[in-house]
Amino acid sequence: METKLLWKMIWEIYLSQSLSPNEAYLTKKTKHYLLDISFNYIHEKVLRSLPDFILEPPKMNNSKIIIFPFPTSIKVIGNNVKAVHKIHDLIPILYTNYIDNVDKYTKFYRKTLDRITKYDNSYFVCISEPVREEFLNVYPHIEDKTIVIPNVLPDTFYNEKNLTWLGAIIKTRLSSLHKNKFIEFNTEKKYILHVGTIEPKKNHINLIKAYEFLKYKYQNKDFILILVGNLGWKYEEVLKKIKILINKNQLIHLSNLSPEELRVVYSHASVVCTPSFVEGFSFTPAEAAKCGTPSVISDIPAHKWVMKDGAVYCNPYSYKSIAQGLETILFKWTTKEKEELIRKAQDAIARFSIENIQEKWEDYLLSLTKR
Protein backbone atom coordinates (compact mmCIF):
# COMPACT_ATOMS: atom_id res chain seq x y z
CA MET A 1 0.00 0.00 0.00
CA GLU A 2 1.16 3.54 -0.71
CA THR A 3 1.82 4.78 2.81
CA LYS A 4 1.59 8.44 1.81
CA LEU A 5 -2.17 7.88 1.91
CA LEU A 6 -1.87 7.02 5.62
CA TRP A 7 0.31 9.93 6.71
CA LYS A 8 -2.44 11.54 8.79
CA MET A 9 -3.00 8.35 10.77
CA ILE A 10 0.75 7.87 11.28
CA TRP A 11 1.04 11.46 12.50
CA GLU A 12 -1.89 11.28 14.93
CA ILE A 13 -1.00 7.91 16.49
CA TYR A 14 2.77 7.99 16.63
CA LEU A 15 4.18 11.49 16.29
CA SER A 16 1.71 14.22 17.26
CA GLN A 17 2.49 14.03 20.99
CA SER A 18 6.21 14.66 20.59
CA LEU A 19 6.61 16.87 17.52
CA SER A 20 5.41 20.37 16.79
CA PRO A 21 2.27 20.61 14.60
CA ASN A 22 4.43 22.57 12.16
CA GLU A 23 6.39 19.37 11.52
CA ALA A 24 3.39 17.26 10.51
CA TYR A 25 4.34 17.66 6.85
CA LEU A 26 7.49 15.60 7.51
CA THR A 27 5.28 12.56 7.99
CA LYS A 28 3.86 13.05 4.51
CA LYS A 29 7.30 13.36 2.93
CA THR A 30 8.80 10.33 4.71
CA LYS A 31 8.70 6.84 3.22
CA HIS A 32 7.12 4.16 5.45
CA TYR A 33 6.92 0.39 5.20
CA LEU A 34 3.96 -1.64 6.44
CA LEU A 35 4.37 -5.22 7.66
CA ASP A 36 1.69 -7.68 6.66
CA ILE A 37 1.52 -8.99 10.22
CA SER A 38 -0.37 -7.78 13.27
CA PHE A 39 0.96 -7.23 16.77
CA ASN A 40 -1.70 -9.64 18.06
CA TYR A 41 -0.29 -12.38 15.83
CA ILE A 42 3.20 -11.85 17.26
CA HIS A 43 1.68 -11.75 20.75
CA GLU A 44 0.00 -15.15 20.33
CA LYS A 45 3.11 -16.76 18.89
CA VAL A 46 5.11 -15.72 21.94
CA LEU A 47 2.49 -16.88 24.45
CA ARG A 48 2.20 -20.24 22.74
CA SER A 49 6.00 -20.61 22.61
CA LEU A 50 5.98 -20.80 18.81
CA PRO A 51 9.03 -19.75 16.77
CA ASP A 52 9.53 -16.05 16.23
CA PHE A 53 8.27 -14.24 13.18
CA ILE A 54 11.26 -13.76 10.88
CA LEU A 55 11.79 -10.37 9.28
CA GLU A 56 14.22 -9.82 6.43
CA PRO A 57 13.98 -6.06 5.97
CA PRO A 58 13.65 -4.55 2.51
CA LYS A 59 16.63 -2.67 1.16
CA MET A 60 16.15 0.83 2.47
CA ASN A 61 19.00 2.97 1.17
CA ASN A 62 21.40 0.26 2.39
CA SER A 63 20.11 0.64 5.95
CA LYS A 64 21.48 -1.94 8.34
CA ILE A 65 19.54 -1.04 11.50
CA ILE A 66 15.90 -1.68 12.43
CA ILE A 67 14.59 0.25 15.48
CA PHE A 68 11.65 -1.09 17.46
CA PRO A 69 9.90 1.48 19.73
CA PHE A 70 9.33 -1.29 22.29
CA PRO A 71 10.57 -4.89 22.73
CA THR A 72 9.20 -6.92 19.85
CA SER A 73 9.60 -10.66 19.32
CA ILE A 74 10.67 -10.42 15.70
CA LYS A 75 13.89 -12.08 14.63
CA VAL A 76 15.59 -9.75 12.19
CA ILE A 77 17.86 -11.46 9.69
CA GLY A 78 20.10 -10.26 6.89
CA ASN A 79 23.71 -9.43 6.18
CA ASN A 80 24.97 -7.47 9.20
CA VAL A 81 21.46 -6.21 10.05
CA LYS A 82 21.00 -5.07 13.66
CA ALA A 83 17.81 -4.75 15.72
CA VAL A 84 17.53 -2.00 18.33
CA HIS A 85 14.79 -2.40 20.94
CA LYS A 86 13.76 0.53 23.13
CA ILE A 87 13.24 -0.38 26.80
CA HIS A 88 10.83 1.93 28.62
CA ASP A 89 10.62 0.09 31.96
CA LEU A 90 10.57 -3.32 33.64
CA ILE A 91 7.17 -2.79 35.26
CA PRO A 92 5.52 -5.86 33.66
CA ILE A 93 8.21 -8.06 35.23
CA LEU A 94 9.19 -6.37 38.49
CA TYR A 95 6.00 -4.54 39.52
CA THR A 96 3.19 -6.79 38.43
CA ASN A 97 0.75 -5.34 40.97
CA TYR A 98 0.46 -2.29 38.72
CA ILE A 99 -0.33 -4.29 35.58
CA ASP A 100 -3.68 -5.21 34.07
CA ASN A 101 -4.13 -8.86 33.04
CA VAL A 102 -0.91 -9.95 34.73
CA ASP A 103 -0.98 -13.60 33.61
CA LYS A 104 -1.08 -12.66 29.95
CA TYR A 105 0.91 -9.42 29.74
CA THR A 106 3.73 -10.32 32.13
CA LYS A 107 4.21 -13.70 30.50
CA PHE A 108 4.32 -12.10 27.05
CA TYR A 109 6.79 -9.37 28.07
CA ARG A 110 9.12 -11.76 29.87
CA LYS A 111 9.10 -14.30 27.03
CA THR A 112 9.75 -11.56 24.49
CA LEU A 113 12.75 -10.24 26.40
CA ASP A 114 14.05 -13.75 27.07
CA ARG A 115 14.07 -14.37 23.32
CA ILE A 116 15.49 -11.18 21.91
CA THR A 117 18.25 -10.88 24.54
CA LYS A 118 19.67 -14.14 23.16
CA TYR A 119 20.04 -12.88 19.59
CA ASP A 120 23.53 -11.77 18.60
CA ASN A 121 22.19 -8.82 16.58
CA SER A 122 19.90 -7.41 19.31
CA TYR A 123 20.76 -4.11 21.00
CA PHE A 124 18.87 -2.17 23.66
CA VAL A 125 18.27 1.51 24.35
CA CYS A 126 16.94 2.33 27.83
CA ILE A 127 15.17 5.63 28.46
CA SER A 128 16.91 6.29 31.79
CA GLU A 129 19.76 4.98 33.92
CA PRO A 130 17.38 3.49 36.55
CA VAL A 131 15.68 1.50 33.76
CA ARG A 132 19.04 0.26 32.51
CA GLU A 133 20.03 -0.84 36.01
CA GLU A 134 16.83 -2.83 36.45
CA PHE A 135 17.14 -4.29 32.95
CA LEU A 136 20.68 -5.50 33.63
CA ASN A 137 19.65 -6.96 36.98
CA VAL A 138 17.40 -9.30 35.01
CA TYR A 139 19.66 -9.72 31.94
CA PRO A 140 23.25 -9.06 33.10
CA HIS A 141 24.82 -10.84 30.11
CA ILE A 142 23.90 -8.01 27.68
CA GLU A 143 25.57 -5.12 29.49
CA ASP A 144 27.83 -4.28 26.54
CA LYS A 145 24.81 -4.15 24.21
CA THR A 146 22.79 -1.74 26.34
CA ILE A 147 22.90 2.07 26.39
CA VAL A 148 20.90 4.95 27.87
CA ILE A 149 19.33 7.48 25.51
CA PRO A 150 16.61 9.45 27.30
CA ASN A 151 13.27 10.51 25.91
CA VAL A 152 13.20 13.86 24.17
CA LEU A 153 11.12 16.72 25.53
CA PRO A 154 9.12 18.27 22.69
CA ASP A 155 9.16 21.99 21.99
CA THR A 156 5.37 21.98 22.40
CA PHE A 157 5.70 22.91 26.08
CA TYR A 158 6.54 26.42 27.26
CA ASN A 159 4.93 28.98 29.53
CA GLU A 160 1.68 30.24 28.01
CA LYS A 161 -0.86 31.90 30.26
CA ASN A 162 -4.24 32.57 28.68
CA LEU A 163 -7.17 32.74 31.11
CA THR A 164 -9.77 32.80 28.34
CA TRP A 165 -8.38 29.65 26.77
CA LEU A 166 -8.02 27.99 30.18
CA GLY A 167 -11.71 28.59 30.88
CA ALA A 168 -12.66 27.15 27.49
CA ILE A 169 -10.51 24.05 28.09
CA ILE A 170 -12.15 23.42 31.47
CA LYS A 171 -15.61 23.63 29.93
CA THR A 172 -14.97 21.60 26.78
CA ARG A 173 -12.65 18.88 28.08
CA LEU A 174 -14.64 17.74 31.11
CA SER A 175 -14.72 13.94 31.25
CA SER A 176 -17.90 11.88 31.34
CA LEU A 177 -17.47 11.57 35.12
CA HIS A 178 -19.04 15.02 35.39
CA LYS A 179 -22.19 13.73 33.64
CA ASN A 180 -22.54 16.93 31.60
CA LYS A 181 -22.73 18.94 34.82
CA PHE A 182 -21.99 22.63 34.24
CA ILE A 183 -18.81 23.78 35.99
CA GLU A 184 -18.52 27.37 37.12
CA PHE A 185 -14.74 27.61 37.21
CA ASN A 186 -12.95 30.70 38.43
CA THR A 187 -9.82 30.87 36.29
CA GLU A 188 -8.04 32.83 39.02
CA LYS A 189 -8.44 29.95 41.48
CA LYS A 190 -5.36 28.02 42.61
CA TYR A 191 -5.21 24.39 41.58
CA ILE A 192 -3.04 21.34 42.11
CA LEU A 193 -2.52 19.49 38.83
CA HIS A 194 -1.92 15.82 38.14
CA VAL A 195 -1.34 14.55 34.59
CA GLY A 196 -1.42 10.84 33.83
CA THR A 197 -3.57 7.84 33.05
CA ILE A 198 -5.74 6.68 35.94
CA GLU A 199 -3.98 3.45 36.83
CA PRO A 200 -2.49 1.98 40.04
CA LYS A 201 1.14 3.12 39.64
CA LYS A 202 0.11 6.79 39.43
CA ASN A 203 -1.00 6.75 43.09
CA HIS A 204 -4.18 8.83 42.75
CA ILE A 205 -5.52 7.49 46.06
CA ASN A 206 -2.76 9.03 48.17
CA LEU A 207 -2.84 12.23 46.12
CA ILE A 208 -6.55 12.63 46.84
CA LYS A 209 -5.97 11.88 50.53
CA ALA A 210 -3.23 14.53 50.60
CA TYR A 211 -5.58 17.06 48.99
CA GLU A 212 -8.34 16.29 51.50
CA PHE A 213 -5.84 16.67 54.35
CA LEU A 214 -4.82 20.12 53.09
CA LYS A 215 -8.44 21.19 52.51
CA TYR A 216 -9.20 20.39 56.14
CA LYS A 217 -6.05 22.14 57.40
CA TYR A 218 -6.56 25.25 55.24
CA GLN A 219 -10.32 25.63 55.33
CA ASN A 220 -10.02 29.35 54.63
CA LYS A 221 -8.06 28.75 51.40
CA ASP A 222 -9.79 28.20 48.06
CA PHE A 223 -7.95 25.66 45.89
CA ILE A 224 -9.01 22.60 43.90
CA LEU A 225 -7.52 19.46 42.40
CA ILE A 226 -7.46 18.99 38.63
CA LEU A 227 -6.77 15.55 37.16
CA VAL A 228 -5.87 15.22 33.48
CA GLY A 229 -5.85 11.73 32.01
CA ASN A 230 -7.95 8.98 30.54
CA LEU A 231 -9.16 5.91 32.41
CA GLY A 232 -6.66 3.07 32.37
CA TRP A 233 -7.22 -0.04 34.51
CA LYS A 234 -7.92 -1.03 38.10
CA TYR A 235 -9.44 2.40 38.72
CA GLU A 236 -12.68 1.48 40.50
CA GLU A 237 -11.58 2.62 43.97
CA VAL A 238 -10.12 5.85 42.60
CA LEU A 239 -13.30 6.66 40.69
CA LYS A 240 -15.37 6.48 43.88
CA LYS A 241 -13.17 9.12 45.51
CA ILE A 242 -13.07 11.26 42.37
CA LYS A 243 -16.86 11.33 42.10
CA ILE A 244 -17.21 12.37 45.75
CA LEU A 245 -14.90 15.35 45.23
CA ILE A 246 -16.59 16.24 41.92
CA ASN A 247 -19.91 16.45 43.76
CA LYS A 248 -18.28 18.78 46.30
CA ASN A 249 -16.93 20.98 43.46
CA GLN A 250 -13.40 20.29 44.72
CA LEU A 251 -12.12 18.24 41.78
CA ILE A 252 -12.20 18.56 38.00
CA HIS A 253 -11.38 15.66 35.71
CA LEU A 254 -10.29 16.49 32.16
CA SER A 255 -9.55 14.11 29.30
CA ASN A 256 -8.47 14.12 25.64
CA LEU A 257 -6.43 17.32 25.83
CA SER A 258 -4.18 18.29 22.94
CA PRO A 259 -0.55 19.14 23.76
CA GLU A 260 -1.36 22.81 23.17
CA GLU A 261 -4.25 22.69 25.64
CA LEU A 262 -2.15 20.81 28.18
CA ARG A 263 0.50 23.50 27.89
CA VAL A 264 -1.99 26.15 29.06
CA VAL A 265 -3.25 23.96 31.93
CA TYR A 266 0.35 23.35 33.06
CA SER A 267 1.19 27.06 32.88
CA HIS A 268 -1.68 28.16 35.13
CA ALA A 269 -1.25 25.43 37.78
CA SER A 270 0.04 26.46 41.21
CA VAL A 271 1.86 23.15 41.52
CA VAL A 272 2.06 19.86 39.64
CA CYS A 273 2.05 16.67 41.71
CA THR A 274 3.34 13.32 40.42
CA PRO A 275 3.47 10.88 43.38
CA SER A 276 3.95 7.74 41.24
CA PHE A 277 5.09 4.50 42.84
CA VAL A 278 7.23 3.66 39.82
CA GLU A 279 8.17 5.24 36.48
CA GLY A 280 10.70 4.65 33.76
CA PHE A 281 11.19 8.31 32.94
CA SER A 282 8.14 10.51 33.73
CA PHE A 283 7.41 13.37 31.36
CA THR A 284 5.02 15.25 33.66
CA PRO A 285 7.42 17.14 36.01
CA ALA A 286 9.73 17.90 33.09
CA GLU A 287 6.88 19.29 30.98
CA ALA A 288 5.68 21.30 33.98
CA ALA A 289 9.16 22.81 34.38
CA LYS A 290 9.18 23.86 30.72
CA CYS A 291 5.88 25.64 31.41
CA GLY A 292 7.31 27.39 34.47
CA THR A 293 5.42 25.41 37.12
CA PRO A 294 7.04 23.74 40.19
CA SER A 295 6.50 20.07 41.00
CA VAL A 296 6.08 17.78 43.97
CA ILE A 297 7.17 14.30 42.94
CA SER A 298 7.83 10.92 44.53
CA ASP A 299 11.40 10.13 45.56
CA ILE A 300 11.75 7.21 43.15
CA PRO A 301 14.97 6.62 41.16
CA ALA A 302 13.56 7.70 37.77
CA HIS A 303 12.28 11.01 39.16
CA LYS A 304 15.58 11.78 40.86
CA TRP A 305 17.49 10.92 37.69
CA VAL A 306 15.30 13.17 35.53
CA MET A 307 14.72 16.15 37.82
CA LYS A 308 17.81 16.13 40.08
CA ASP A 309 17.34 18.97 42.62
CA GLY A 310 14.63 20.66 40.55
CA ALA A 311 11.61 19.39 42.49
CA VAL A 312 10.21 18.92 45.99
CA TYR A 313 10.33 15.20 46.79
CA CYS A 314 7.85 13.15 48.82
CA ASN A 315 7.31 9.59 50.02
CA PRO A 316 4.63 8.14 47.69
CA TYR A 317 3.46 5.70 50.38
CA SER A 318 2.59 8.51 52.81
CA TYR A 319 -0.23 10.90 51.95
CA LYS A 320 1.01 13.21 54.71
CA SER A 321 4.42 13.41 53.02
CA ILE A 322 2.70 14.30 49.74
CA ALA A 323 0.59 16.90 51.56
CA GLN A 324 3.70 18.37 53.20
CA GLY A 325 5.35 18.81 49.80
CA LEU A 326 2.26 20.47 48.36
CA GLU A 327 1.92 22.68 51.43
CA THR A 328 5.50 23.86 51.02
CA ILE A 329 4.90 25.18 47.52
CA LEU A 330 1.28 26.32 47.95
CA PHE A 331 1.46 28.12 51.25
CA LYS A 332 5.01 28.39 52.64
CA TRP A 333 7.52 29.25 49.96
CA THR A 334 8.03 32.73 48.60
CA THR A 335 7.81 33.50 44.90
CA LYS A 336 11.60 33.75 44.81
CA GLU A 337 12.01 30.25 46.30
CA LYS A 338 9.62 28.77 43.75
CA GLU A 339 11.38 30.53 40.90
CA GLU A 340 14.71 29.12 42.08
CA LEU A 341 13.25 25.60 42.10
CA ILE A 342 11.94 26.07 38.57
CA ARG A 343 15.35 27.33 37.43
CA LYS A 344 17.01 24.19 38.82
CA ALA A 345 14.39 22.04 37.13
CA GLN A 346 14.93 23.71 33.78
CA ASP A 347 18.68 23.25 34.14
CA ALA A 348 18.16 19.55 34.85
CA ILE A 349 15.90 18.88 31.86
CA ALA A 350 17.99 20.85 29.35
CA ARG A 351 19.80 17.57 28.58
CA PHE A 352 16.56 16.21 27.09
CA SER A 353 16.33 18.79 24.32
CA ILE A 354 15.71 17.65 20.76
CA GLU A 355 19.24 18.69 19.77
CA ASN A 356 20.95 16.75 22.56
CA ILE A 357 18.92 13.57 22.09
CA GLN A 358 19.27 13.71 18.32
CA GLU A 359 23.05 13.88 18.72
CA LYS A 360 23.02 10.88 21.07
CA TRP A 361 21.00 8.81 18.58
CA GLU A 362 23.21 9.80 15.66
CA ASP A 363 26.39 8.90 17.57
CA TYR A 364 24.91 5.61 18.72
CA LEU A 365 23.63 4.51 15.32
CA LEU A 366 26.94 5.43 13.75
CA SER A 367 28.76 3.32 16.34
CA LEU A 368 26.47 0.36 15.56
CA THR A 369 27.38 0.47 11.87
CA LYS A 370 31.00 -0.11 12.89
CA ARG A 371 30.31 -3.17 15.01
Q: What is the mean pLDDT of residues 363-371?
A: 90
Checking if the pLDDT of 58 tops 60, the result is no
**113 φ/ψ angles, rounded to the nearest 5 degrees:** -65, -40
Residue 8 pLDDT class (50, 70, 90 cuts): confident
Residue 7 pLDDT class (50, 70, 90 cuts): confident
Checking if the pLDDT of 2 tops 60, the result is no
Say what the pLDDT of residue 11 is: 75
Checking if the pLDDT of 329 tops 90, the result is yes
Say what the pLDDT of residue 5 is: 65
**pLDDT tens, 61-109?**
556 888 888 888 878 877 788 999 999 999 999 999 999 888 778 888 9
Q: What is the mean pLDDT of residues 173-197?
A: 86
Say what the pLDDT of residue 161 is: 94
Task: For the chain, give percent helix, strand, coil, nearest 5.
Answer: 50, 15, 35
Q: What is the mean pLDDT of residues 241-247?
A: 94
Q: What percent of the chain has pLDDT over 70?
A: 88
Say what the pLDDT of residue 40 is: 66
Q: What is the mean pLDDT of residues 330-345?
A: 97
Distance CA 43, CA 39 (A): 6
Q: Long-range contacts of range 89-96, CB-CB < 8 Å, 24 or more positions apart?
A: 89/127, 89/131, 89/134, 89/278, 89/279, 89/280, 90/131, 90/134, 90/135, 90/138, 91/201, 91/278, 91/280, 93/138, 94/134, 94/138, 95/201, 95/277, 95/278
Q: What is the mean pLDDT of residues 260-279?
A: 97
Say what the pLDDT of residue 65 is: 86
Q: What percent of the chain has pLDDT over 90?
A: 67
Is 2 in a helix, a strand, or coil?
coil
Say what the pLDDT of residue 81 is: 86
What sign results for the dihedral spanned by CA atoms 238, 240, 241, 246?
A: positive
**370 φ/ψ angles, rounded to the nearest 5 degrees:** -95, -5
Ranking 51-55, 254-258, 322-326 by mean pLDDT, the lowest is: 51-55
Name the average pLDDT for the chain.
89
Q: What is the mean pLDDT of residues 261-282?
A: 97
**pTM (2 decimals)?**
0.89
Q: What is the mean pLDDT of residues 258-271?
A: 96
For the chain, list the domains and their CATH numbers.
35-152+354-369 (no CATH), 163-352 (3.40.50.2000)
Say what the pLDDT of residue 52 is: 63
- In terms of average pLDDT, the best of 43-52, 167-176, 183-192, 201-210 is 201-210
Say what the pLDDT of residue 216 is: 95
Say what the pLDDT of residue 137 is: 97
Q: What is the mean pLDDT of residues 234-244?
A: 94
- The residue among 248 and 53 whose pLDDT is bigger is 248
